[in-house]
Structure 1
């Protein structure tokens, strides 16, 4: 299938679900790309994974009672994020241990709850690996509104979150409410995960949160540029992944993740700060050093302009 055929299918009223799938995938990728910048900056990949699992019981409860999945996942994820932030204040137990306890417990609770619903196996697969082509119109509006809310909150506390992410102790000395900012970030990560679960599923959602920012990190050292590149990379990955999954009839969520992973590998090898880029820079530096140490290099005549 050519890209033009894919565009034609997107505009076909009989295939309206495809356009909705693309909209949700791109919105999820943009929100996760921006929020994920802070996750990568703070080395919080495990927290993102924990939040992705912590929303599972809320999704399961909403499914069993025929409620709104996004709302159910949000409530469960926010509750778990608050519990993690509170329990992590006890320094006798490290934060990653607290996170591990809660995310394993939450995921187990979700499986137990979901087992009570008819068609358990099929429902579990939908939650774990996504069901992007079956998203109702109501969820599309919820995802759009929630994504806009996340971006607005991030813009409001951007400077404070950057300060805490770079140096927590200095931020505390400056009088910033570190605990409150941690809580805000946990909640934002939760919301980003919830709106992405139906796109690529509970298992793969961490890829949207981590891979685009990690790829952007290989391309730039500037945080502002990284925050712009990350959602662009995520959005392009979602678009290409959806196109390939539609053309080849393969699972959408997994295809999007593989496209994003391929982009990361390309950046790892080809970016100026990637493997090949560093080797080329090292070779140029070695060549410059050899020229400087070559016999007679110091005795070379000084140009007239330099003498003047």
Structure 2
């Protein structure tokens, strides 16, 4: 078992481990709502839509985090504005803004002599370069995500399964939707500078999707997502250390692989159960009734 613990004897790998675990814990509750509401494309668009703000901040010597937050907020407001047009679907609005923001970011970054390096850092980050200050920022973001998720659980649950019922229950679905967009923005902005957009998206979508195939209640999906994300971080760092691969990309690849393994196992389970295979989905949807 020495091969398993050998990488974590180095201090920067230890910080990478804690950084990956914190990102996993941040993404678990946020990603659960993303998966249950089917807004993974929005998460992808917001993550890559941060490029203009990051690029502009880099060229002007400003804060990359503030630049990313400004771009993500612009993306969210743009989606909200375009979805007001009845002839435009949500996916159309997101797709247009996604391409527009990403194109603007590439144009801005192309004026920099370090174009390739900057874009690579944006996409893949450098989890092995996590600093103590980064860990403190991630811990603060985790505290906010946990607090808001706990306070808004009833509204988020009703919104995920039945937005109309959320309105009749007085749970203000519009405010709940805006809050979830804020949580998604916080998770992406807080994590991308440390691990890049690739790893953020991998941990935001893959672990909750894997857990949702097996867990029957939303809190269990969140716990399962946190566990899958944490294990993916550990295995990804170990594989990266011994195979000499990029750490962030390896962690994301392990998380996606875990989803496919969970999906394959769930398919076999459903074949054996037959008509009762969807029982956990019914149990999860019953949580809407508790929102009242």
Q: TM-score, normalised by structure 1?
A: 0.83
The correspondence of residues 52-91 of structure 1 with structure 2, limited to 5 A, is 52-91=47-86
Q: Do 1:53 and 1:104's aligned partners in 2 also have CA atoms closer than 8 Å?
A: no
Match in the other structure for 1:126: 121
The correspondence of residues 31-42 of structure 1 with structure 2, limited to 5 A, is 31-42=26-37
The correspondence of residues 91-170 of structure 1 with structure 2, limited to 5 A, is 91-170=86-165
The correspondence of residues 202-281 of structure 1 with structure 2, limited to 5 A, is 202-270=197-265, 274-281=266-273
**Which of 14, 17, 27 is 2:12 aligned to?**
17
**Which of 170, 179, 182 is 1:184 aligned to?**
179
- CA separation in 2, counterparts of 1:187 and 1:87? 18
Q: Which has the larger radius of gyration?
A: 1
- Following superposition, the deviation at residue 39 of structure 1 comes to 0.6
Q: Do 1:70 and 1:139's aligned partners in 2 also have CA atoms closer than 8 Å?
A: no
- Following superposition, the deviation at residue 283 of structure 1 comes to 11
- Following superposition, the deviation at residue 44 of structure 1 comes to 0.8
- CA separation in 1, counterparts of 2:261 and 2:20? 22
- What is the aligned residue count? 276
Name stretches of at least 5 consecutive residues in structure 2 with no aligned partner. Answer: 278-292
- Following superposition, the deviation at residue 282 of structure 1 comes to 4.1
Match in the other structure for 2:5: 4
CA deviation map 1:192-215 (0-9, x unaligned): 112232454224532211110110
- Following superposition, the deviation at residue 230 of structure 1 comes to 0.9
Distance 1:144 1:65, change over 3 A: farther
- CA separation in 1, counterparts of 2:180 and 2:97? 17
CA deviation map 1:154-193 (0-9, x unaligned): 2211111111111011112223322221111112111111
- Following superposition, the deviation at residue 31 of structure 1 comes to 0.9
Distance 1:53 1:4, change over 3 A: closer
Q: Do 1:70 and 1:142's aligned partners in 2 also have CA atoms closer than 8 Å?
A: no
Q: TM-score, normalised by structure 2?
A: 0.87
